[in-house]
Amino acid sequence: MATNKTQPTPKKVSEFIAGIEDGRKRADCKELMKLMREVTGKRATMWGPSIVGFGKYHYKYASGREGDFFLTGFAARKQALTIYIINGFEPHAELMEKLGKFKTGKSCLYVKNLDDIDRAVLADLVKASVAYMREKYPSSC
């Protein structure tokens, strides 16, 4: 059975953040770290070479595939910040209407910088997603 490619690594988050050349993006990442640590109560961990994750949960699908993944996190991609809202955006339609300028993938929120969105709404979005994941996977969060 295949394993999840994205795994925790021993790389230091502080070194990863310090290595972000764009000062604006680096500052936004520091702000996201503070927000996500407050919401999850967990320290940041590198997941793979470029994702900063907070907390983790254990999943098991009906197919038998299982693994661990972070509750929430972010990546500083070249085009945009990627903020992981693990349970997706459909349950958060009301918040999404108030968020600001963004694009989405299945569980990825893409923003150019944090000034493009309402930070309080982002905090509510992260809180709601983490709460959902903790309710769905209570024994592993």
Query: What tens digit of pLDDT does each residue of 52-105 get?
Result: 999 999 988 888 888 899 999 999 999 999 999 999 999 999 999 999 999 999
Domain spans of the chain, in order of start: 13-136
Ramachandran class of 61: left when φ > 0, alpha when ψ lies in -120 to 50, beta otherwise: beta
DSSP string, the chain: ----S--B-S--HHHHHHT---HHHHHHHHHHHHHHHHHH---EEEETTTEEEES-EEEE-TTS-EEEE-SEEEEE-SS-EEEEETT-SGGGHHHHHHHBS-EE-SSEEEES-GGGB-HHHHHHHHHHHHHHHHHHSTTT-
Is pLDDT above 80 for 134? Answer: yes
Q: What's the topology of domain 13-136? A: Aspartate Aminotransferase, domain 1 (3.90.1150)
Is pLDDT above 90 for 116? Answer: yes
pLDDT class of 1 with cuts at 50, 70, 90: low
Q: Give this prediction's pTM.
A: 0.93
Return the C-alpha torsion angle 98, 27, 34, 140, nearest 10. 80
